[in-house]
């Protein structure tokens, strides 16, 4: 079984290598901005679209022209992959822009990269990339020491093929992410009980078997520290060294919050996959729409529900576990997991689900159980039970939600 996997770790470059990394990142930023200007100018003046192939040929042409004649011979100082991959990244940005237009969401036209935002990143797709337990070799830069030993896959392994390497800078620290094609044994068919997962703000995730993963609430717990660091940045003279130092502390603090959130979601998703469930059912929530509620947007962003579901999906794929997404309008929280009656009066403040049949259960656990039963047979039973106590208008709604044929 072939899978694509990324390995990211921190680099430990010396001063000369750091300078070379910054030159490569600067070249990638310059080519990206140059190609973007070329596309915009051609479209505005001639109403034509420049392809990535034409941009690649133009880059090769200006590399071979002297500086006096308007060329950019300094691009020979960096790897040939840098301008190629930068143009590919721009092409992908345009594709994402057109995809958003078709979906009718926020446009997101490609923007110019700015040097003040940091060194940035660059991508290399070259056969000369290889890694050992202590080093990684990059074209035009050479062997760079790794801060974490025995983490990257070795280049001489027959079951691993390195596709590309992305080098990025964050708060004066350099990281490498290796994208590899890896051959793994075919997963064993899972035999555990099916699991429904309800994500939320109070708890990171609640499983249908009663397991609860707590939400670290990294941003809210560090809110005061964030406020003080932001105030320190705003009070420094603009452009001064003191402001840069304060900005560096703020960036480090934000990275700390991000690491807490990633650690919690990685541990939780790994534990879920370790249960080897027959299948997993997750919510099909419209997270972008939920973020429009400004009273809940901060808490929803802090919970990172979309990231949790994304990790569940790719880890389950590696383990051979099917993942199903419930319909966006499936009333997992409002439907009783015992009798199927839908409680239309349920609000966000109600943490205990109380049904008219006398059944009481934790709201999140009730939703997780309903998601677990999200199968053809489970939906039919739930829908039939709910129809017994609903008006004609509610019956029509349930038929739409569960996509069930009317009873004869």
Q: What positions carry a catalytic annotation?
A: 198, 283, 364
* Rg of the chain taking only CA atoms, in angstroms: 26
Distance between CA atoms of 9 and 178, rounded to whole angstroms? 9
Contact 89, 120 (CB under 8 A): no
Number of Cβ within a 10 Å radius of residue 52: 16
**DSSP states of 122-180 as a string?**
EEE--TT-EE-SSEEEETTTEEEEBSSTT-SPPTT-TTEEEEEEEEEEETTEEEEEEEE
How far, in whole angstroms, is CA 290 from its chain's centroid?
Answer: 18
Q: Bridge partners of 282?
A: 197, 325
3-state secondary structure (DSSP) of residue 280: strand
Distances in Å between the alpha carbon of 261 and those of 30, 216, 225?
A: 33, 7, 17
Distance between CA atoms of 345 and 334, rounded to whole angstroms? 8
Number of Cβ within a 10 Å radius of residue 396: 12
CA geometry: angle 285, 291, 297, nearest 5 deg: 120
Contact 75, 63 (CB under 8 A): yes
231, two tokens: 């105030």
Contact 49, 43 (CB under 8 A): yes
Distance between CA atoms of 52 and 317, rounded to whole angstroms? 33
Nearest of 130, 120, 117 to residue 165 by alpha carbon? 130
């Amino acid at each position: 079984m072939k899978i694509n996997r990324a390995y990211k770790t921190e680099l430990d470059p010396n001063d000369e290598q750091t300078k070379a990394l910054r030159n490569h990142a600067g070249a990638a930023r310059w080519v990206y901005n140059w190609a973007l200007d070329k596309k915009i100018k051609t479209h505005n003046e001639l109403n034509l679209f420049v392809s990535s192939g034409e941009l690649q040929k133009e880059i090769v042409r200006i590399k071979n022209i002297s500086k006096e004649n308007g060329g950019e011979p300094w691009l020979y100082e960096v790897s040939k992959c840098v301008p190629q991959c930068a143009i590919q990244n721009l092409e992908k940005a345009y594709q994402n822009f057109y995809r958003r237009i078709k979906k009718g969401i926020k446009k997101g036209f490609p923007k110019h990269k700015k040097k003040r935002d940091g060194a940035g990143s660059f991508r290399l797709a070259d056969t000369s990339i290889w890694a050992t337990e202590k080093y990684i070799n990059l074209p035009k830069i050479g062997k760079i020491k790794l801060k974490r030993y025995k983490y990257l896959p070795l280049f001489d392994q027959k079951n691993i093929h390195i596709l590309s390497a992305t080098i990025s800078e964050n708060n004066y620290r350099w990281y490498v992410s290796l994208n590899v094609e890896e051959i793994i044994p075919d997963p064993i068919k899972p035999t555990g009980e099916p699991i429904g997962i309800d994500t939320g703000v109070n708890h990171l995730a609640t499983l249908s078997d009663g397991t609860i993963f707590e939400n670290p609430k990294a941003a809210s717990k560090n809110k005061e520290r964030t406020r003080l660091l932001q105030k320190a940045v705003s009070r420094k003279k603009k452009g001064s060294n003191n402001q840069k130092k304060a900005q560096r502390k703020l960036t480090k603090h934000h990275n700390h919050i991000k690491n807490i959130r990633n650690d919690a979601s990685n541990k939780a998703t790994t534990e879920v996959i370790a249960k080897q469930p027959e299948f997993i059912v997750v919510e099909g929530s419209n997270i972008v729409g939920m973020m429009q509620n400004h009273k809940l947007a901060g808490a929803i962003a802090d919970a990172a529900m979309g990231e949790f579901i994304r990790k569940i999906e790719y880890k389950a794929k590696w383990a051979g576990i099917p993942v199903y997404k419930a319909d966006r309008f499936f009333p997992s929280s409002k439907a009783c997991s015992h009798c199927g009656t839908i409680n239309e009066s349920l609000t966000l403040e109600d943490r205990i689900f109380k049904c008219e049949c006398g059944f009481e259960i934790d709201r999140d656990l009730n939703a997780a159980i309903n998601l677990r039963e999200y199968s053809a047979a489970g939906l039919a039973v739930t829908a039939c039970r709910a129809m017994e106590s609903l008006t004609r208008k509610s019956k029509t709604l349930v038929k739409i939600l569960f996509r069930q044929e009317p009873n004869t």
